[in-house]
Amino acid sequence: MVVEKDVETAYRSNIDVSKLTPFRAPYRLYITPFEEIVAHQYRGEGTHDTPFIVDWIPNDPENPRTWRKVYKWLLTVFVSLATLSVAFCSSAYVGNFEGVMKEFGSSVEVTTLGISLFVLGFSLGPLLWAPFSEMFGRRIIFIITYLALVAFNVGSAGSQNIWTLLILRFLAGAFGSSPLTNACSISGESH
């Protein structure tokens, strides 16, 4: 448990805050300099009885509540379509169900695992992506997991045996669940 003395020690240390500012990347449109975040006078005293109220600093370009309405709605449409496409990925397998059985010589039960494992990935993936998006940001998690979803679906299409197909379907479901968990958060934070 952190005590007030630890907070005071960390606050008064000689840390170069410019090194704490996130790096520029194509997926980061704006970055608020860390010096501004540290220098801002937050409400509260930082004690147990009156803790600091951490809020957005004025004119912060990273605050989603200050984005233009057009951008917010485009973002909402984008994440909605991404979620819809993941739902299509889950059922696309069924279209060639008999072809999969014929190609790999698998039984109905084993072939059905392609759907079941995708849905199992749907249920396990959010256990990772929801906390990771809180720690690292929604955008980078969304980009990485969506690229992985595409890669695993491409791998599924080129599978040489049923077991590879089933494993890739599970991984596609796990990585594809990211838009399902983060779409609501993205829309909720910006509107």
Domain extents in the chain: 1-62, 65-190
Cα(175)–Cα(165) distance, rounded to whole angstroms? 15
CA within 13 Å, CB half, 102: 4
pLDDT, tens digit, 9 for 90 and up, residues 21-61 = 566 666 666 777 777 777 788 888 878 888 888 788 888 87
The Cα 15–Cα 10 span in angstroms is: 9
Q: What percent of the chain has pLDDT over 70?
A: 85
Lowest-pLDDT range, 42-46, 110-114, 148-152?
42-46
Phi, psi dihedrals of residue 50, rounded to the nearest 5°: -130, 80
Q: Which of these, 17, 53, 22, lies nearest to 137 by C-alpha position?
A: 22
